[in-house]
Amino acid sequence: MQTIKNYVEENRKRFLDELFELLRFPSVSADPKYKGEVLKTADFVAEKLKEAGAENVEVCATEGYPIVYGEKIIDSSLPTVLVYGHYDVQPPDPLELWHTPPFEPTLRDGKIYARGACDDKGQFYMHVKAFELMMNTNTLPCNIKFMIEGEEEVGSDNLGKFVTANKERLKADVVLISDTSMISMENPSLETGLRGLAYMEVEVQGPNRDLHSGVYGGAVANPATILCQMIASLHDENNHITIPGFYDGVIELSAEERKALNDAPFNLDDYKKDLSVDEVWGEKGYSTIERTGIRPTLEVNGIWGGYTGPGAKTVLPAKANAKISMRLVPGQDWKAISELFKNHFESIAPKSVKVSVVAHHGGTPYVTPTDSLAFKAAYKAIEEAFGKQPVPTRGGGSIPIVALFEQELGIKTVLMGFGLDSDNLHSPNEKYDVFNYYKGIETIPLFHKYFAEMSK
Amino acid sequence: MQTIKNYVEENRKRFLDELFELLRFPSVSADPKYKGEVLKTADFVAEKLKEAGAENVEVCATEGYPIVYGEKIIDSSLPTVLVYGHYDVQPPDPLELWHTPPFEPTLRDGKIYARGACDDKGQFYMHVKAFELMMNTNTLPCNIKFMIEGEEEVGSDNLGKFVTANKERLKADVVLISDTSMISMENPSLETGLRGLAYMEVEVQGPNRDLHSGVYGGAVANPATILCQMIASLHDENNHITIPGFYDGVIELSAEERKALNDAPFNLDDYKKDLSVDEVWGEKGYSTIERTGIRPTLEVNGIWGGYTGPGAKTVLPAKANAKISMRLVPGQDWKAISELFKNHFESIAPKSVKVSVVAHHGGTPYVTPTDSLAFKAAYKAIEEAFGKQPVPTRGGGSIPIVALFEQELGIKTVLMGFGLDSDNLHSPNEKYDVFNYYKGIETIPLFHKYFAEMSK
């Protein structure tokens, strides 16, 4: 532990400078206009892996953005850890809400503000630096492989193909990912599960052109009004989702499991205060922790139609659109749910409009076995680094690829995240604590150490 | 009539060229970025009034866009006609749907395509040319005054003040407006009423920032979802508007009046075909003509919230907004209705969000007395010009200023419109038939002739 602390201490400034360099690339995978920058980011990551001591580093082309691979095989008889992360980020908008530009990382009260600071550049780069540390202090106790992709924020479509086509190269004993969060730095936690995702886009088409709302208003279906009515019908008065069959197969937790979950440190008043809301919202019969952790949800991620400029335009719009995504839990298949949604949404459309539904992408829910070696190693590493036992939690987010690793590579994943829910992931002013960054770099070598020891 | 026809024939080309010049000004009053162009348009209109023979022409400054005034007083003992029109236009977007640029007027199969071609540049300019005609053929039978404003599309806020402050200058016996439409050129019609308007903008504020829909989804109210639920609740299953008190005071028409209205030529199949809709929509118990003519309505003119860019962003938006306007009928006061809407909308907001409502502008419904001299003169003029008696109709649109003329100047308005409902007012590819343009220039002098004669 002292060796680790010393190395981190000696390289504090450089570790931060390098992360800032990485954060300056606007690697937004959702928006084609950033394509050149996303590609440059991949090259930068490859370069840094080489500098840290990785071999066989390759920027692997895909039909979309490339996957950066690198490895260090010290002894084929030793266990192998496959580190996964992603160098792409969410779109930065709404830009006007950022206090400092999203791609000019800024340090304020010990926090790094930038798009991707936490999700996931700041977190995967800890692994690159922890790897450098183990190499330069001759403490790498096992083989290590890196797979850093550039399409996580848009569904990881090509990573699936890549994994399937590279099973031999990716052969490992466990997947290690830092792309999730802890309850707080005082209350370190370790995620035991992730929700799945089904992301849809809908369009309601009314008349063949925008109409004058005075001349036609009241006599022709308004697609914006109809879209609102259709979306409103997707939740009932208890905020249950009304899509027939949506909850079929959902695995309910036992009273004990639910109690354990609700025992995690959580203060509803602080939660509401942090968000400036007077009341929380959600499915009747479940706590806030359960609503985000073990229950499926349906959210409108975006809606638009008609005139949205300044002033008043008396138009009856020709069409209205919405992006709607569902978070799924164990027992739900994202492809089946996407199909259920499409059929239901089309079935509730009145004859006065035409509705089309497309599925953007999805992901399968995942649960990490708490009795696995890897989970125990992560648990021990955090306990030593933080001087406190981590609380097991259920994450609300989704990392679609996790289920695929198990399916294609037959190995489990450990979710050792160092972010905080308050890090504004996917929001303006995304941040990552410098403390968490260094703490992560200290914790990761301990994971490798204990995983290697326990595997003996 | 022959004199008129000859003059129009001799000046066909110039009349059209001048209108094209006027249409090239992007005089969008709703969007500040067009300010310079709107001002230039006012100067152009003033110049053309002078050329036509108007005196005391003035570009009258207001707190907003100027009002162009001009007059020709030939004999104070003769009746005076006050011509009203507006030189501002609706925003052109969505631009991508225009076949030719909105501010580059284009002639296709006898139609002029341009923003403002019909609403209202093409229509008010007919009066300028008809005035020129009467001046140059020494046939002006009465005094004439022009008042052309630049804020009709944004609520005519400053015109009201101008009228109140200029009662003497605007003294007249009737207001003549061409800013409405006919059933068709084969079925000329004359509007006997207009709907009022109350235009609102609402904002639903959820959390204080955009959130990750995985981390918070299901536990925090989604303002886009809530906005949809609130908007959906504004109509019941019969498409009646649910705002308490909304229909109070609405003047129901007698069975005879409704029959007369429904006797107007109207083909539902053609109507649906023109709009490419399989079914019409609207308030149960009323025909399409009644729904747009004599019933109040509520339309979503625009809605936006969350991520609306390409691809998928898993965000739970901080807020969602909508522009919602109501068309009103005689018996409804727009200020009272705006207040009703505000109170109701705020009252149905769940505690999990904050709602704010602002009223953009409004207008009072209006009915033209069919037994007035002016209406009879318009009726006779159309009958002679078209060789067919016009059908009395109720217009669905609103010209807020009409009620104000009666209140402030104590005079009635005649709505002698030459547009067609299919002219795409407020929509992409707005158009105006060249035939209508010339026909209007021929009809207007006849109105002045008969109005002067009947006033003797």
pLDDT in tens, A304-338: 999 999 888 889 999 999 999 999 998 999 999 99
Question: Strand A297-306 relative to strand A431-433: parallel, antiparallel, unpaired?
Answer: unpaired
Residue B39 CB burial class (10 angstroms; 0-12, 13-18, ≥19) = middle
Best residue of B96, B211, B281 to probe chain A, by most A CBs closer than 10 Å: B281
CATH code assigned to B196-250+296-363: 3.30.70.360
The answer, as to whether pTM is greater than 0.95, is: no
Q: Which whole number is the average pLDDT over A369-397?
A: 90
Least Cα distance to B42 among B140, B136, B152 occurs for B152
Span B332-356, pLDDT tens digits: 999 999 999 999 999 999 999 999 9
Contacts (Cβ under 8 Å, ≥6 apart) of A285: A238
Provide, as residue numbers in chain A, all residues whose Cβ is less than 8 Å from the Cβ of B422.
Answer: none
Span B36-93, pLDDT tens digits: 999 999 999 999 999 999 999 999 999 999 999 999 999 999 999 999 999 999 999 8
CB contact A295 to B (< 8 Å): yes
Q: Is the distance from CB of A189 to CB of A392 less than 8 angstroms?
A: yes
pLDDT at B140: 97
CA-based diameter of chain A, in Å?
79
Q: Which whole number is the average pLDDT over A64-69?
A: 98
pLDDT at B257: 84
Are B313 and A302 within 8 A, CB to CB? yes
Best residue of A228, A351, A402 to probe chain B, by most B CBs closer than 10 Å: A228
pLDDT at A97: 92
pLDDT at B1: 80
Q: Which whole number is the average pLDDT over A329-356?
A: 96
pLDDT at A185: 84
CB contact B422 to A (< 8 Å): no
CB contact A376 to B (< 8 Å): no
Nearest chain A CA: its distance from B205 CA (Å):
9
Q: Which whole number is the average pLDDT over A75-102?
A: 95
In sequence order, what E strands does B206-333 have?
A: 211-212, 297-306, 315-316, 319-328
Residue B293, H or E segment: helix B288-293
pLDDT at B183: 85
- Alpha carbons A41 and B340: distance in angstroms, whole number: 55
- Alpha carbons B300 and B156: distance in angstroms, whole number: 21
pLDDT confidence bin for A228, thresholds 50/70/90? very high
Q: Count how many residues are written for chain B.
A: 456
Give yes or no for residue A82 having a pLDDT over 80: yes
Provide, as residue numbers in chain B, all residues whose Cβ is less than 8 Å from the Cβ of A352.
Answer: 277-281
Question: Strand B319-328 relative to strand B297-306: parallel, antiparallel, unpaired?
Answer: antiparallel
Task: Give the N- to C-terminal CA distance of chain A in Å, as an integer.
Answer: 21
Task: For the domain made up of B2-194+365-454, give the CATH fold.
Answer: Aminopeptidase (3.40.630)
Residue that the structure tokens 């310079």 belong to: B36
Give yes or no for residue A150 having a pLDDT over 80: yes
Structural domain boundaries of chain A? 2-194+365-454, 196-250+296-363
- The token pair that represents A288 in the structure block: 């806030």
Provide, as residue numbers in chain B, all residues whose Cβ is less than 8 Å from the Cβ of A360.
Answer: 311-312
- Alpha carbons B34 and B434: distance in angstroms, whole number: 27
Select the residue of A215, A301, A310 nearest B313 (Cβ to Cβ). A301
CB contact A100 to B (< 8 Å): no
Q: Look up residue A94 and give its amino acid.
A: P
Select the residue of B213, B299, B354 nearest A325 (Cβ to Cβ). B213
pLDDT at B194: 86
Give yes or no for residue A113 having a pLDDT over 90: yes
Span A170-204, pLDDT tens digits: 999 999 999 988 988 888 999 888 899 999 999 99
CB contact A197 to B (< 8 Å): yes
pLDDT at A1: 80
Residue A322, H or E segment: strand A319-328
**Closest-approach residue (CA) in chain A for B394:** A215
Least Cα distance to B135 among B50, B53, B46, B47 occurs for B53
Q: Look up residue A1 and give its amino acid.
A: M
Provide, as residue numbers in chain B, all residues whose Cβ is less than 8 Å from the Cβ of A154.
Answer: 311-312
**pLDDT above 90: percentage of residues in chain A:** 82
Q: Which whole number is the average pLDDT over A214-218?
A: 92
Are A224 and B360 within 8 A, CB to CB? no
Best residue of A290, A300, A354, A358 to probe chain B, by most B CBs closer than 10 Å: A300
User: DSSP of A227-265, one letter per residue?
Assistant: HHHHHHTTB-TT--B-STTTTTT--PPPHHHHHHHHTS-
Span A26-45, pLDDT tens digits: 999 999 999 999 999 999 99
Are A312 and B275 within 8 A, CB to CB? no
Q: Identify whether B168 is a catalytic site residue.
A: no
Indicate the SS3 state at residue A298. Answer: strand
Residue B198, H or E segment: strand B196-205
Q: Running along chain B, 456 residues long, what does each successive block of 10 average in pLDDT?
A: 93 98 97 96 98 98 97 97 97 93 97 98 98 97 98 90 96 96 88 90 96 93 98 98 96 87 90 96 96 95 95 92 96 95 98 96 84 94 94 80 89 94 89 96 98 94
Provide, as residue numbers in chain B, all residues whose Cβ is less than 8 Å from the Cβ of A277.
Answer: 206-208, 220-221, 352-353
Q: Could you list the active site residues of A? A: 88, 152
Indicate the SS3 state at residue B121. Answer: helix
Nearest chain A CA: its distance from B74 CA (Å):
38
pLDDT at A52: 98
Q: Look up residue A339 and give its amino acid.
A: E
pLDDT at B247: 97
